[in-house]
Amino acid sequence: MSRLPFRLTALLIALVGLALVFFVRVRPWYLSWGATATELTRTLPGDDIVGPQAGQETRAITIGAPVEVVWPWLAQLGQDRGGFYSFDLLENLVGCRMPIDDALHPDRQEWALGDRLWMYPADRAGGAGFATLRVYTPGRALGFATRMTGTPLDGPENGSWSFALEPAGPTSTRLLVRGRGTSTRSLVATAFDRSVFEPLHYAMERRMMIGLKEIAESGTRHRLANHVQVLLWTLTFVMVLVGAARVVIGWRWMASLVLFVTAASAFELLTLVQPPLWVGVPTVLLLGLMVAYAPDR
């Protein structure tokens, strides 16, 4: 059996390798998911909410419905309106209390400058879970001012989250979502944002955009499939922890190191790429076989 320092070094090297792949290849991809080169650089509503930005992300999706059909669904975004059409099971597990009826509510679609977009119940987390509407073009755009990770509630607004709808043809719409932020944050807050909050936000935002597409096109979402996706994420993350723990204790540690790297890569695939279930389910089953069978070498 190899000594603990050797095994920990091997685990650390694996972690560094995974981090390099994430920051060099994966992060640039999801910052611009679905957007064209022109959409990444052009001015969008809400760009003037904050000053010169240190970071910007632009994502886009084409919806097979005209703007006037998509807008009512977009206009009722919010915890106290129509929800976010994302992984509501995951949202509600952390106390968001998102509505799950997936229905249009005309009384929840009106906005005025200064209104709050609630992402978490107003009576929880000290009332901090909101963004403030600063740009509003009825039927086309919503632009919210936000506070970036690590910014106190009484601090200045230093980020923005904006949504724009543009006709892509007589029966289709381009949905553009842009996030911007300034550089006024600590090193610790920036590190947490880049490694934890940012990819989690992307995973939820991507599903929100897909949910808007599904519900505008058909009037319903694949909520059961969303729930299964969350289950697959959970199982895969558990297998990441199992692999790491086995390396530390030295139980068939080389095979366990392979399990750790494979499970971590699969977790990244399932959460960020979000493949269909016919890919996700076999992937998790194969990982389960790796957990059950680890050659002693």
Q: Tell me what pLDDT residue 234 has.
A: 97
In this structure, how many other beta carbons lie within 10 angstroms of the beta carbon of residue 2?
12
Q: In what order do the strands lie in the sheet with 116-118?
A: 55-63, 172-181, 159-169, 141-146, 130-137, 116-118
Contact predicate 173/62, CB 8 Å? yes
Q: Tell me what pLDDT residue 86 has.
A: 96
Q: For residues 131 and 220, what is the distance between their CA atoms, to the nearest angstrom?
A: 27
Contact predicate 155/135, CB 8 Å? no
CATH hierarchy code of domain 33-221 = 3.30.530.20
Q: What is the pTM of this model?
A: 0.93
Domain residue spans of the chain: 4-26+228-292, 33-221
pLDDT tens-digit profile, the chain (297 residues) = 568 999 999 999 999 999 999 999 999 999 999 999 999 999 999 999 987 766 899 999 999 999 999 999 999 999 999 999 999 999 999 999 999 888 999 999 999 999 999 999 998 888 888 999 999 999 999 999 998 776 777 778 889 999 999 999 889 999 999 999 886 667 787 788 889 999 999 999 999 999 999 999 999 998 999 999 999 999 999 999 999 999 999 888 999 999 999 999 999 999 999 999 999 999 999 999 999 886 655
